[in-house]
Amino acid sequence: MSKKPISKKEPPQTVKGMHDVIGSEYYALEGFLEKASEVAMYYGFQPIRTPVLEKEELFRSGVGEGTDIVEKEMYAFRTKGGDHVVMRPEGTAPVMRAYIEHGMGSWPQPVMLYYKEHLFRHETPQRGRMREHTQFGLEILGTPKSIADAEIIHTFSAILKEAGLANIILDINSIGDKECRPRYIRELANYYKKHIGEICNDCKRRLKENPLRLLDCKNEKCQPIKENAPHSVTALCDACRKHFKEVLEYLEALNIPFRLNNNLVRGLDYYTRTVFEIAEDTDDGTSSDSHPESEGENEKGKDKSKKEDGIEEARAPLALGGGGRYDYLARALGSRREVPGVGGGIGTERIFLSKNWERQNPRIIKQPKIYFIQLGFDAKLKSLGIIEILRKARVPITQSLAKDSLGSQLAAAEKVRVPYAIIFGQKEALDDTVIVRDMNTRSQDTVRIAELSKYLKGMR
Ligand code: HAM
């Protein structure tokens, strides 16, 4: 029989742009999401979790055919049954799908939902931009009222403050509704047509496919043209103007500073009226080193990168979060009724890049109070029973089941700085006792196992 060749496989690795979350990073993520959920709950938001896989059509109809997310970034595949599915690239279309599917229109309105989700976008990985990222999202569905727009921003601002990011820049704009937007888009396209010879190839394509996205362009060549482009706010119809004015008044009343950003249009097609983005306002103007999702642009902290034809492209600070109103999304997804909605998402990984971020530990984290040391086979046999007594008494432990000598286990206990150690050897196993050692004073008590629970209560 011929021997099988020894496999020369490469060591296993994560897929590009995705990473494992381990140890303190795991606790940071959980801690942030837990705090954010708590804040959202105080404001009346309820949790929702939607599946990782959705039908591809949901995002094609919801987010928009011409968007980068749908065109270039979806992890899309066909199931064995022939369904076209994608790993969700964003959270809003799935939440709206759930609202329609579960008849949430018959619940008291508006329905206020929060979610913490992993999202998947096949982007070029870089700092603050991964192929799998985590978002904390908020959606208010079933009301067109401007106070809902302000409430979303207000809640995000409270969440960011809790995470130590007190100085935020809120960029805000209104891109109108079906009354006034077509007129504005015509005006914008006509303006750009006059400058066709001066704009980049991407903009020539945008002019044909989706003129609003002309305002996303970061190519230096196009900046002078963009600066003089007509503004959507000046083209708003009366209803949109009133709505936007009210949103800004609420923000003023809430003491949330904002910046009107005429170029903010965002990278998803479902938005109407209010669009916003939140970045961090740092002393040096650089919250970090990438560009926001919107491709809408902040002037502060620009840096440069090469793009098309080697032309310099201005980049703005990373957006921590963004969102807006999406009053026509439900209809686009096939709902018989209109469901006005507004929401946003913040990227948790981006928060951790901030110099001001304050780590919050999740409630579940248990600092070990006792190092459990067992010696010899008889003790090991009984040790799981003692560990159970400790768990029921709510005393978190740490242990090294693989170590056998007292010295090495005591050394490990010193290293992890636990206040107590329990020593359980052959003799104690026979006597049904344990030794409880105070790691600071090095004093020791022998305690009967039957009394251990009571003894532990006295220790606290
Ligand atoms: P978005 O602007 O695409 O909006 O994403 C929101 C936030 O998620 C971004 O501001 C950023 O912090 C984070 N983020 C996005 N992509 C990545 C990535 N590749 N790596 C790391 N972080 C990322 C939405 O997704 C909308 N669904 C928000 C929304 C909710 N609008 C209305 N409701």
| Per-residue pLDDT, 222 | 92
Give the DSSP letter string of 144-194: --HHHHHHHHHHHHHHHHHTT---EEEEEEE---TTTHHHHHHHHHHHHHT
Atom 14, ligand 1: residue with shortest CA distance: 347
Residue where the block lists tokens 């979790």:
49
- Diameter over CA atoms, the chain: 94
Q: Which of 293, 326, 329 to mutate to test the pocket of ligand 1 (most atoms within 8 A of CB)?
A: 293
Spatial separation of the C-alpha atoms in residues 30 and 40, rounded to whole Å: 15
34 half-sphere exposure, CB direction, 13 A CA radius: 13
Q: How many angstroms is it from 170 CA to the middle of ligand 1?
A: 15
Spatial separation of the C-alpha atoms in residues 130 and 348, rounded to whole Å: 11
Q: How many angstroms is it from 321 CA to the middle of ligand 1?
A: 6
Q: How many angstroms is it from 294 CA to the middle of ligand 1?
A: 9
φ/ψ of 312, rounded to 5, equals: -65, 140
**Long-range contact set of residues 57-60: C-beta below 8 Å, sequence gap at least 24:** 57/84, 58/86, 58/93, 58/94, 58/97, 58/333, 59/86, 59/88, 59/89, 59/90, 59/93
Length of the chain, in residues: 460
Q: Give the ligand 1 atom nearest the CA of 121.
A: 19
Helix (H, G, I), strand (E, B) or coil at 279: strand
Q: Give the ligand 1 atom nearest the CA of 277.
A: 10
pTM of the model: 0.89
Spatial separation of the C-alpha atoms in residues 113 and 227, rounded to whole Å: 37
Spatial separation of the C-alpha atoms in residues 124 and 17, rounded to whole Å: 8
Q: Which of 135, 153, 342 to mutate to test the pocket of ligand 1 (most atoms within 8 A of CB)?
A: 135
Task: Give residues with Cβ within 8 angstroms of 10, minimum separation 6.
Answer: none
387-417: burial string, b at 16+ Cβ within 10 Å, e else: beebeeeebebbbeeebeeeeebbebbeeee
Question: Token digits for 388?
Answer: 């159970």
In 3-state terms the chain splits into helix, strand, coil percentages (rounded to 5) of 40, 20, 40
Q: How many angstroms is it from 61 CA to the middle of ligand 1?
A: 18
Q: How many angstroms is it from 346 CA to the middle of ligand 1?
A: 6
Per-residue pLDDT of the chain (460 residues; tens, 9 = 90+): 556 666 678 899 999 999 999 999 999 999 999 999 999 999 999 999 999 999 999 999 999 887 889 989 999 999 999 999 999 999 999 999 999 999 999 999 999 999 999 999 999 999 899 999 999 999 999 999 999 999 999 999 999 999 999 999 999 999 999 999 999 999 999 999 999 999 999 899 889 988 998 998 889 999 999 999 999 999 999 999 999 999 999 999 999 999 999 999 998 999 999 999 999 987 654 443 333 354 433 333 344 444 433 333 334 578 999 999 999 999 999 999 999 999 999 999 999 999 999 999 898 778 899 999 999 888 888 999 999 999 999 999 998 877 778 898 988 888 888 999 999 999 999 999 999 999 999 999 999 999 999 998 887 6
Q: How many angstroms is it from 129 CA to the middle of ligand 1?
A: 10
Q: Which of 133, 171, 339 to mutate to test the pocket of ligand 1 (most atoms within 8 A of CB)?
A: 133
Spatial separation of the C-alpha atoms in residues 17 and 130, rounded to whole Å: 5
| Per-residue pLDDT, 167 | 92
Atom 12, ligand 1: residue with shortest CA distance: 347
Q: Residue 134 forms beta bridges with which residues?
A: 118
DSSP state of 267: S
- In whole angstroms, what separates CA 306 from the centre of its chain? 28
Q: How many angstroms is it from 293 CA to the middle of ligand 1?
A: 6
| Per-residue pLDDT, 5 | 64
Atom 29, ligand 1: residue with shortest CA distance: 344
